[in-house]
């Protein structure tokens, strides 16, 4: 059966409707007529994959990646960037309507100046296929695609990843197997900073000690990196968790935005696209400039190593940063000292637990993981925040649910601004400015 794709929807799928049935189609683009293979059904929704293209979308381009469609990292590498942007703005507007029942004009998405090589951090997984391989997971699978190159990560990462692969094969070090819990090598994480292109390499193994460890360390030290960290993570799925040893160089990477310095430890979160992060900081700054905040307090919830709180510290009388990771909070405290910022303090706590017992604040900047803050969290915020909320989100669905709750509990949504933090993928970052109705 031939289907015409109307638009792209949340999750990156091409959307098509046939009578009562809705098709969510992998690898199909707007205006395209395709034949599909069904993958699975969920009530009236059929998930399918393009089998053949009958009429090609005018926005389909040739992808620059030899691994495209095998690797799960990017979904839209063969979709013209201008149209990626339009699709993303439309998806946010649609999620707000569908999930949040919010009829809001969403601002046009702010693009990334760099569509390739923009990522500051990549987590590559080790696997075995006749030899040790190193790359990213296939889409909806734990299988690893052996990468030779990756167009969205820095060019240096390709060379390092390929060299590490040769080294571990030469030393014959076993890959960790999550089923029988045997083996050593789990992941190779690479991070690049935005001040002077320093690269931190983090080798994640299942055990602290293993055969040929010293030889491996000596070989890795010959590579062009600024620091080498050995992280021991026996079986936690969150790869960047566990104890680490510094094998070489600094324990941290130093980042800088507009004069504010941040030391980021190997296991701490930091924004992944520096160019777009600066645009997000500028957007929040513009809003705060319209407010009279000098004598006001700010709560920076899910603060990481203090990116937002420290950046805006001069605008507020006092600031509190809350974050669940003790490591990140230790960095955040050190970052305050590093920048000589004295009106901020940080605590390592769960955001909801903190809100239940906290005092009130004038303003809130909130940047939760994909799950969002949730209904209970918004209810607590509505009692604890007196003036404005800057909600930063990396998932349009939980964002829509939470914004709708904010509106029910006495906040006015002043703006919704998407940012293209992750070009060539379907991921969308958003900032909403909300004001308490007095």
Ligand X SMILES: C[S@@+](CC[C@H](N)C(=O)[O-])C[C@H]1O[C@@H](n2cnc3c(N)ncnc32)[C@H](O)[C@@H]1O
Q: Helix H segments across 172-212? A: none
Q: Is 303 in the site for ligand X (CB under 6 A)?
A: yes
Question: Does 26 count as an annotated binding residue?
Answer: no
Could you give the string, one character per residue 45-84, with x where binding to ligand X holds by CB under 6 A and - elsewhere? ----------------------------------------
Residues in region 363-392 near ligand X by CB under 6 A: 367-369
Cα–Cα dist 102/401, whole Å: 10
Site membership for ligand X, residue 398 (CB under 6 A): no
Phi/psi at 138 (5° precision): -65, 160
Q: Which of 118, 302, 411, 426 binds ligand X (CB under 6 A)?
A: 302
Q: Which of 127, 325, 398, 424 binds ligand X (CB under 6 A)?
A: 325
CA-atom Rg of the chain in angstroms: 23
Active site residue 150: no
Smallest distance from ligand X to CB 372, Å? 11
Helices (H), 99-179: 155-171
By C-beta, is 24 or 264 nearer to ligand X? 264
Site string for ligand X, 260-289 (x = CB under 6 A): ---------xxx------------------
- DSSP state for residue 409 in the 8-state scheme: T
Q: Is residue 257 a contact point for ligand X (CB under 6 A)?
A: no
Least Å distance between CB 350 and ligand X?
A: 4
Binding footprint of ligand X, residue count (CB under 6 A): 17
Report, in Å, the least distance between residue 352 CB and ligand X.
7
Q: Which is nearer to ligand X, 146 or 429 (CB)?
A: 429
Write phi, then psi, for 147 (nearest 5 degrees).
Answer: -95, 135
Q: Active site residue: 65, 71, 74, 394, which one?
A: 394
Map 320-375 to HEC letters.
EEEECCHHHHHHHHHHHHHCCCCCEEEEECCHHHHHHHCCCEEEEEECCCCCCCHH
The answer to whether 123 and 134 are in contact (CB under 8 A) is no
Residue from 328, 335, 358, 424 touching ligand X (CB under 6 A): that is 328
Cβ closer to ligand X: 100 or 368? 368
Instruction: Count other Cβ atoms within 10 Å, centred on residue 412.
Output: 11
Strand partners, 16: 23
Which residue sits closest to ligand X, CB atoms considered? 304
The reply to whether 29 sits in an annotated binding site is no
Rule CB under 6 A: say whether 402 interacts with ligand X. Answer: no
**CA terminus-to-terminus distance, the chain:** 56
Q: List alpha helices for 245-325, DSSP H.
A: 274-289, 307-311
Measured from the CB atom, is 323 or 407 closer to ligand X? Answer: 323
- Backbone dihedral angles phi then psi of residue 116, each to the nearest 5 degrees: -120, 160
* Contact (CB, 8 A) for 280 and 238: no
Q: Between residues 303 and 344, which has the closer beta carbon with respect to ligand X?
A: 303
- The answer to whether 37 is annotated as binding is no
Contact at 8 Å (CB) between 361 and 345? no
Instruction: Report the nearest approach of ligand X to the CB of residue 150 (Å).
Output: 22
Q: Where are the beta strands (DSSP E) in 182-242?
A: 185-192, 199-205, 227-232
Residue 13 lies near ligand X (rule: CB under 6 A) = no
268: which 2 tokens? 């701490």
Mind telling me the catalytic residues? 394
Binding residues for S-adenosyl-L-methionine: 271, 302, 323, 367
Interface residues with ligand X (CB under 6 A) are 269-271, 302-304, 307-308, 323-325, 328, 350-351, 367-369
């Amino acid at each position: 059966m031939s289907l015409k794709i109307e638009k792209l929807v949340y999750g990156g799928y091409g959307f098509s409707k046939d009578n009562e049935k809705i098709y969510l189609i992998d690898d199909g683009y707007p205006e395209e007529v395709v034949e599909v293979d069904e993958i699975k059904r969920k009530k009236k929704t059929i998930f399918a994959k393009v089998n053949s293209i009958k009429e090609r979308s005018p926005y389909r381009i040739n992808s620059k990646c030899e691994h495209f469609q095998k690797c799960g990292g990017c979904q839209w590498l063969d979709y013209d960037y201008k149209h990626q942007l339009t699709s993303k703005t439309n998806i946010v507007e649609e999620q707000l309507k569908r999930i949040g029942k919010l009829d809001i004009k969403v601002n046009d998405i702010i693009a990334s100046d760099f569509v390739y090589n923009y990522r500051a951090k990549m987590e590559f997984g080790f696997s075995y296929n006749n030899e040790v391989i190193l790359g990213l997971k296939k889409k909806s699978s734990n299988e690893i695609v052996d990468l030779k190159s990756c167009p969205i990560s820095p060019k240096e990462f390709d060379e390092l990843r390929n060299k590490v692969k040769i080294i571990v094969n030469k030393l014959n070090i076993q890959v960790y197997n999550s089923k029988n819990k045997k083996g050593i090598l789990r992941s190779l994480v690479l991070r690049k900073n935005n001040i002077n292109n320093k690269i931190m390499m983090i080798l994640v193994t299942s055990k602290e000690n293993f055969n040929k460890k010293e030889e491996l360390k000596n070989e890795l030290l010959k590579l062009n990196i600024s620091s080498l960290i050995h992280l021991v993570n026996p079986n936690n799925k969150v790869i960047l968790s566990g104890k680490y040893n510094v094998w070489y160089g600094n324990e941290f990477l130093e980042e800088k935005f507009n004069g504010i310095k941040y030391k980021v430890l190997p296991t701490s979160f930091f924004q992944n696209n520096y160019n777009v992060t600066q645009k997000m900081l500028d957007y929040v700054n513009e809003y705060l400039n319209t407010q009279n905040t000098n004598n006001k307090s700010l709560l920076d919830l899910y603060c990481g190593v203090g990116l937002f709180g420290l950046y805006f510290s001069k605008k507020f009388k006092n600031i509190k940063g809350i974050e669940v990771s003790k490591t990140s909070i230790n960095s955040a405290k050190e970052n305050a000292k590093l920048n000589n910022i004295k009106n901020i303090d940080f605590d390592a706590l769960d955001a909801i637990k903190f809100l239940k017992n906290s005092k009130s604040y004038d303003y809130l900047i909130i940047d939760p993981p994909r799950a969002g803050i949730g209904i209970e969290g918004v209810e607590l915020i509505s009692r604890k925040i007196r003036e404005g909320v800057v909600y930063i989100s990396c998932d349009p669905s939980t964002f829509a649910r939470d914004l709708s709750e904010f509106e029910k509990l006495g906040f006015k949504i002043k703006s919704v601004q998407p940012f293209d933090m992750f070009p060539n993928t379907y991921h969308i970052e958003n900032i909403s400015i909300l004001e308490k109705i007095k």
